[in-house]
Amino acid sequence: MTRKETTPLSRHVDGIYRTESRRVFATLVRLLDGDFDLAEEALHDAFRAALEQWPREGLPDSPRAWLVSVGRFKAIDRRRRAARFAALDEMPEPGCDDADDPAVLADDDIGDDRLRLIFTCCHPALSPEAQVALTLREVCGLTTEEIARAFLSAPATVAQRIVRAKTKIRNAGIPYEVPSQVNLPERLDSVLRVIYLVFNEGYAASGGNALTRHELSDEAIRLARLLASLLPEAEILGLLALMLLHESRRSARTTPDGDLILLEDQDRSRWDAALIAEGQALVDAVWSTRRVGPYSLQAAIAAVHGGASEAAATDWARIVSLYDLLERLEPSPVVALNRAVAVAMHDGPAAGLALIDALLQRGELTDYHLTHAARADLNRRLGQVEQACAAYEQALALAKQAPERLFLERRLAELHAAASD
């Protein structure tokens, strides 16, 4: 939405836009035969109409249904004006349209238009990069710039990926549907990857003034729950457990002013015990199947943290062993970095620092701010002030998110002050 108002109702409309716009969009895509661009235009037309009509007519009983209905009317008008379809005269006139019909607005047997949308965006005909970019844009409503930061890519590159993906969907006739039960398992990997990226963007935003964007994390968890109800495979349950266990720590991750609090310094009484219990139960259920995958292993690591009453009680030996399994199952520089931090906690900072230095010497994660932040912290713990300052400065040069930058600046200032004493 581009129009800015200051009235209470307009602020309420802004709130509805934040919480409902992508749901409205997903339903409009279904009602408009999979036309992403027309659905996006209809979505914004509907919210413009809401800003004009709701102050006069009041808030409708069902804002989402109203927005879907008006958006569909607006799309019909756009199609008529553009004369895109020869048979448009057969379409119902406004006032006779069936968009208010519960049978039209009701979700089908999968229970969610957004789940249908995410499977369409993650269709195997699209490249993995396009799947993620399109889902973040169309399902979650992230801007091109936000997606570019997540990809460490230029905004123009991401925009081209999105345009090409929508063109591919249209030209290839990719259906707007959830795959059949037979084809569903092979489609899950890309969907799980996208859902987890959405969660991560909400749990640790890639940029901006806030550490988190809870609406994205909530949406990722909601989608994972839907997936689990549809197909309770071990890795779906593992991903859900992982997100729940991370989400349990949200309220303890920042001060009232929004400043970052590290895991070891968090007030664990503020962790959500219900989410921890649910996540740990899911981890136990997955491990009982003996079909443990990368998400399940990460969830098991998070469960170890969740079971520690205080930081000093953390079973770091167990965490290191789980990272050993994860590194064998799905090796990656980020997994190696996380394992190095766990090793530092178990065997001492020098052991972890050696592993991180080896990563950097191989040219891995040199542009990842958390690599340099971890290295800086280990140097700090070893009393190597000059090296710690240099690493903090490198991390600060790469960090995009305001709370992380503030945290790094404070650590750097503390080191400079200590060195001058």
Domain spans in the chain, listed from the N-terminal domain onward:
8-105
How far apart CA 57 and CA 50 sit, in angstroms, is 10
The token duo for 282 is 């899911």
Taking only the tens place, the pLDDT of each residue in 245-302 is 999 999 999 888 888 899 999 999 999 999 999 999 999 999 999 889 999 999 999 9
Taking only the tens place, the pLDDT of each residue in 53-93 is 998 888 899 999 999 999 999 999 888 887 644 444 554 44
Identity of the residue numbered 402: A
Residue 319 has pLDDT above 90, yes or no: yes
Q: What is residue 84's predicted lDDT score, i.e. its pLDDT?
A: 47
Distance of CA 236 to the CA centre of its chain: 16
Torsion of CA 25, 27, 28, 30, to 10 degrees: 130
Q: What is the pTM of this model?
A: 0.75
Cα dist. 186→189, 233, 399 in Å?
Answer: 7, 12, 36
Residue 408 has pLDDT above 90, yes or no: yes
Determine how many CB atoms are found less than 10 A away from the CB of residue 288: 9
Taking only the tens place, the pLDDT of each residue in 12-29 is 888 899 888 988 999 999
Q: Are 20 and 14 in contact (CB under 8 A)?
A: no
Identity of the residue numbered 222: R
**Distant-in-sequence, close-in-space partners of 358: CB < 8 Å, separation ≥ 6:** none
Share of the chain above pLDDT 70, in %: 88
Distance of CA 242 to the CA centre of its chain: 13
- Count Cα neighbours of 224 within 13 Å in the Cβ-side half-sphere: 29
User: Taking phi first (over 0 means left), then psi (-120 to 50 degrees means alpha), and beta for anything else, what does residue 117 get?
Assistant: alpha
Q: What is residue 110's predicted lDDT score, i.e. its pLDDT?
A: 38
Identity of the residue numbered 186: E
Q: What's the pLDDT band for 146 if we cut at 50, 70, 90? A: confident
Q: What is residue 399's predicted lDDT score, i.e. its pLDDT?
A: 92
Q: Are 292 and 328 in contact (CB under 8 A)?
A: no
Q: Are 205 and 85 in contact (CB under 8 A)?
A: no
